[in-house]
């Protein structure tokens, strides 16, 4: 491994539980940057990728044309990165790795968010299915094709490990898949990469990856309440009984009895984020001052997430999600758009799979006479990379009409 040449001042103070400033390595060996750590470099590669820029036109919950102030996958990602960095800095973790993971965690999302993912997964049922986390790995290991010497971004081992373990270990001790993958098996993209570089699928991820994963939950709990209120799917009064949100609304009303709806909403958001972040930092500090975690390896072997909500806040998190699910994600107005969006993805898949020559020439390379599963995966990669806007335009090009997404 290359000698570390970057100036000491680039390396921030870190606890022994943080990952080492120099990566275990990259699949294709590269010289050390003289100005950046491995994880700064990964963060920068992610920001300069085309997949990252496409997040700007991908749905979080609302399709882009529904309004300019709703979160997109890009603004969500930036909020996750901000929260992940706060947690990482407070806990003396590697802030750049946490940020890189936050910025990359949703790269694999299809157009139209979870709706698009479900539709593509269904279309790919006979060919290994589709999973947005596995797709993020595919993007950073092979689908970005802009470097001279390798496909993908050639990210550091720790970055790939954190990306793959966004939801925790993939295998149980003993080697069988965890519940989430029991029925369908571990996605092929992960197994293929695992064969090249052992990502240690049985262990937990680094504390940095755990910080990025919980930042995702904190960000969307808060901003989905904000977006749901903005869309008029529910009102502030409906949040009275929601754990944490109800209590914070009472606190705001007490302190600012005359505050209007818009300012009250923002005060609620900042308080929800602050309380959840402070809780997580408190849990992390308690773990790291226990003396049990003297290396990132100790963190990986802990057998549980160390960067997590305390039991009362885990209940609050569950309560917020329990409110948002029926009142937002399954609201009939959202469901109507989702149904139409799913049809767009399904129609695009069926059409392109039946006639791959409708894809750009570079996407058809090597497909002549190829097996069905290879053709299907190529079409899925092509569709998954589309933004909402591109998918709508493709629908117009192939079927002569713009889909009705109201």
Binding site for ligand DGT (CB under 6 A): 60-61, 106, 113-114, 133, 166-167, 216, 220, 224, 329
Rank residues 60 and 327 by Cβ distance to ligand DGT and give the closer one.
Answer: 60
Rank residues 337 and 359 by Cβ distance to ligand DGT and give the closer one.
Answer: 337
Least distance CB 288 / ligand DGT (angstroms): 24
Least distance CB 107 / ligand DGT (angstroms): 11
Residue 163: closest CA among 201, 195, 111? 201
Q: Count the Cβ atoms, other than its own, within 10 Å of residue 401.
A: 8
Within 13 Å, how many C-alpha atoms sit on residue 76's CB side? 29
Rank residues 220 and 382 by Cβ distance to ligand DGT and give the closer one.
Answer: 220
Alpha carbon 201 to its chain's center: 18
Give dist(CA 305, CA 284) in Å, integer: 10
Residue 83 tokens, joined: 């929260």
Least distance CB 271 / ligand DGT (angstroms): 19
3-state helix, strand, coil in the chain (%, to 5): 60, 0, 40
Rank residues 203 and 221 by Cβ distance to ligand DGT and give the closer one.
Answer: 221
Least distance CB 353 / ligand DGT (angstroms): 25
Give dist(CA 159, CA 163) in Å, integer: 6
Least distance CB 221 / ligand DGT (angstroms): 9
Least distance CB 95 / ligand DGT (angstroms): 21
Give dist(CA 294, CA 291) in Å, integer: 7
Kindly tell me the burial class for residue 238, based on how many C-beta atoms sit within 10 Å of its own C-beta (0-12, 13-18, 19 or more).
middle
Rank residues 250 and 335 by Cβ distance to ligand DGT and give the closer one.
Answer: 335
Residue 386 tokens, joined: 């589309």
Residue 197 Cα distances to 23, 84, 128, 158, 335, angstroms? 13, 26, 21, 11, 41
Least distance CB 328 / ligand DGT (angstroms): 8
Rank residues 151 and 226 by Cβ distance to ligand DGT and give the closer one.
Answer: 226
Least distance CB 115 / ligand DGT (angstroms): 7
Rank residues 18 and 219 by Cβ distance to ligand DGT and give the closer one.
Answer: 219
Rank residues 183 and 365 by Cβ distance to ligand DGT and give the closer one.
Answer: 183
Least distance CB 71 / ligand DGT (angstroms): 7
Residue 97 tokens, joined: 């790795």
Give dist(CA 92, CA 11) in Å, integer: 12
Give dist(CA 238, CA 93) in Å, integer: 38
Kindly tell me the burial class for residue 122, based on how many C-beta atoms sit within 10 Å of its own C-beta (0-12, 13-18, 19 or more).
middle
Contact criterion met (CB below 8 Å) for 92 and 14: yes
Rank residues 61 and 100 by Cβ distance to ligand DGT and give the closer one.
Answer: 61
Q: List all residues 6 or more positions away from 355 whose beta carbon is below 8 Å from its beta carbon.
A: none
């Amino acid at each position: 491994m290359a000698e570390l040449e970057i100036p000491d001042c680039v390396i921030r103070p870190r606890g022994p539980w943080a990952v080492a400033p120099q990566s275990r390595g990259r699949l294709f060996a590269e010289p050390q940057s003289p100005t950046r750590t491995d994880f700064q470099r990964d963060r920068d590669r992610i920001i300069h990728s085309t997949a990252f820029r496409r997040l700007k036109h991908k749905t979080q919950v609302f399709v882009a044309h529904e309004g300019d102030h709703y979160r997109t996958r890009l603004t969500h990602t930036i909020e996750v990165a901000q929260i992940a960095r706060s947690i990482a800095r407070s806990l003396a973790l590697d802030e750049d790795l946490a940020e890189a993971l936050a910025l990359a965690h949703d790269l694999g999302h299809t157009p139209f968010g979870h709706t698009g993912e479900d539709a593509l997964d269904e279309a790919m049922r006979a060919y290994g299915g589709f999973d947005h986390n596995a797709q993020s790995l595919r993007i950073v290991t092979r689908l970005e094709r802009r470097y001279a010497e390798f496909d993908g971004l050639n990210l550091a081992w720790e970055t790939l490990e954190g990306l793959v373990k966004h939801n925790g270990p993939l295998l149980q001790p003993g080697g069988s898949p965890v519940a989430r993958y029991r029925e369908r098996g571990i996605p092929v993209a992960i197994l293929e990469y695992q064969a090249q570089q052992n990502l240690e699928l049985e262990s937990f991820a680094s504390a940095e990856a755990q910080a990025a994963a919980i930042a995702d939950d904190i960000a969307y709990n808060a901003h989905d309440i904000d977006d749901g209120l903005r869309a008029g799917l529910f009102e502030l009064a409906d949040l009275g009984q929601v754990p944490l949100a109800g209590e914070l609304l009472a606190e705001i009303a007490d302190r600012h009895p005359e505050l209007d709806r818009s300012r009250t909403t923002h005060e609620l958001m900042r308080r929800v984020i602050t309380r959840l972040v402070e809780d997580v930092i408190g849990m992390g500090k308690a773990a790291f001052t226990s003396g049990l975690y003297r290396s990132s390896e100790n963190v990986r072997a802990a057998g549980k997430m160390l960067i997590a909500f305390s039991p009362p806040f885990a209940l609050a998190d569950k309560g917020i999600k329990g409110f948002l699910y029926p009142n937002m994600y399954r609201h009939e107005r959202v469901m109507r758009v989702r149904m139409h969006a799913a049809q767009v993805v399904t129609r695009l898949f069926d059409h392109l799979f039946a006639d791959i020559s409708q894809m750009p020439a570079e996407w058809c390379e090597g497909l002549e006479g190829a097996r069905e599963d290879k053709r299907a995966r190529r079409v899925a990669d092509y569709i998954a990379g589309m933004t909402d806007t591109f998918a709508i335009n493709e629908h117009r090009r192939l079927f002569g009409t713009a889909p009705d997404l109201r």
